[in-house]
Amino acid sequence: MNKYKTELMVGIFVVLTVAALLLLALKVANQTMSNEGESYTLYAKFDNIGSLKTRSAVKLGGVTIGRVESINLDKDDFTPVVELSILEKYTGFPETSSVSILTSGLLGEQYVGFQPGFSFDGVAELKDGDYLQDTKSALVLEDLIGQFLFNRGGDEN
Amino acid sequence: MNSIAAIGASTLSRLAAVGRAGLMLFGALLAVPRLKNVPLTVKQLYVVGVQSLLIIMVSGLFIGMVMALQGYTILIDYGAEASLGPMVALSLLRELGPVVTALLFAGRAGSALTAEIGLMKATEQLSSLEMMAVDPLRRIVAPRFWAGMIAMPMLALIFSAIGILGGHMVGVDWLGVDAGSYWSVMQSTVEWDKDVVNGIIKSLVFALVVTWIAIFKGYDSVPTSEGISKATTQTVVFSSLAVLGLDFVLTALMFGIE
């Protein structure tokens, strides 16, 4: 085995590794997501966020317009505050817009659904750092069953 | 009385072996690195890395394919075959990539390292080097150690990447999972720093353990043909057990606590 051939094979080995790393970075872990463009931040307070996670999608009519940046608890009234980072190219939503926590499919991941509100005179646009006032919490199955049983009990009496 | 003394003697000899292993590693690592040792390391990179490439790639391909096949038959019952991508990717990146690579590496390259260094010792090549004022730790041990440390994470990355492509081949091309959902659900689930980087850290730890055991078993072997065969067996057994045990500890540290 001469020296040149050894070095050539090690070089091929290194190139293969770099290719594998690129595949894992770009195609599997999707590191390019942050390069999608500038984004701005909106906040929303929910009563219950269900199993929403950071990096969950924010969707408007099925189009992903942003991601959940972080989830914290408000120290004053103990309600979850979700920080949404919305892409800069989707801008100009009226202040009356609402967000709700929805589930994709029967067992799927939870995401934030964004409904733009009506804009008329006197309604400002949402800006960086604004709070969304109109929020609908995640559906919790146990609450739903509890409500159903409670209503059934009420009917019989 | 004698049996108790035997327990003491075996404990002492084991501790002494651990001490010798530590001294060997530090001797090899703390020796001043020299530029002329780089070609030696490249040569070893060829022996332990490139020559392990075929078995790693074939195993990765088939493990990815089998996982896609098994995962599909279970996930299709729940209509959740879109989760096939993250299932294959996460299990390869977090567990199977580093662990199976380390096991194969111990069998393919570790045993060869032990036998090579053991035979060098048996034929007194190591002593001859010392006679010529060449430090065998620096000339023989250090290049092999660094080659193992560099090669194993590279092999693990190739293993995971090929496995994911194999899963794509079976899941998407043969069984008809939607290609878009295979990749997009994978992308939204796999996190770069949490999954990929932790997998690389895991395989670095395994590389240290497997290469260290392999080199030390050869360096410390009884210089007879029987001693070398025993050392080679012990390399494979010990490093496999160490990898599997350490994997649990590392997984608990990395992924156990949210």
Per-run averaged pLDDT (10 residues), chain B, 258 residues: 88 90 84 74 89 93 94 86 88 93 94 93 90 86 90 94 93 85 81 87 94 92 91 94 94 78
Q: Is the domain of A31 the same as that of A91?
A: no
Least confident span in A19-23, A37-41, B51-55, B126-130: A37-41
Q: What is the mean pLDDT of chain A?
A: 81
Nearest to B165 by CA among B34, B58, B79, B251: B58
Mean pLDDT, range A128-156, rounded to an integer: 81
| pLDDT given for residue A37 in this prediction | 67
Tokens for A87, please give them. 């892409």
Are B191 and A16 an interchain contact pair (Cβ–Cβ within 8 Å)?
no
Cβ-based burial of B49 (10 A; exposed 0-12, middle 13-18, buried ≥19): buried
Give me the residues of A, 82-101, that contact B with CB < 8 A. Answer: none
Query: Span A9-30, mean pLDDT?
Result: 84
Residues A74 and A10 in one domain: no
A94 in the same domain as A50: yes
Establish if A152 belongs to a structural domain.
no
In a domain, A108, yes or no: yes
Looking at the domain assignment, is residue A150 inside a domain? no
Is A12 an 8 Å CB contact of chain B?
Answer: yes
Which residues, 6 or more positions from B220, have their beta carbon under 8 angstroms from its beta carbon?
A: B17, B20, B21, B24, B231
* Local confidence band at A106 (pLDDT 50, 70, 90 cut-offs): low
Residue A28 C-alpha, separation from nearest chain B C-alpha, in angstroms: 5
- How many folded domains does chain A comprise? 2
Task: For residue A11, give its domain range.
Answer: 1-36
| A109: confidence class by pLDDT, cuts 50, 70, 90 | confident
Query: Which pLDDT score is estimated for B166?
Result: 94
State the pLDDT at residue A156: 59
pLDDT score for A30: 67
Reference A137, options A118, A105, A112; nearest CA is A112
The verdict on residue A147 lying in a domain is no
Residue A149 lies in a domain: no
Q: What is the pLDDT of residue A140?
A: 77
pLDDT score, position B68:
93
With a CB-CB cutoff of 8 Å, which residues 110-149 of chain B face chain A? none
Instruction: Looking at the structure, tell me whether residues A24 and A47 fall in a common domain.
Output: no
Specify the 3-state DSSP secondary structure of B26. Answer: helix
With beta carbons under 8 A apart, name residues in chain B contacting A33.
187
Assign 3-state DSSP to chain B and report helix, strand, coil percentages, each to 5: 90, 0, 10
Report pLDDT for A5: 84
Provide the pLDDT for residue B101: 95
Residues A123 and A58 both lie in one domain: yes
- What is the reported pLDDT for A1? 58
pTM above 0.80, yes or no: no
pLDDT at A35 over 60: no
Whether A154 is covered by a domain: the verdict is no
Picking from A3, A10, A14 by the largest number of B CB atoms within 10 A of its own CB, the best residue to mutate is A10
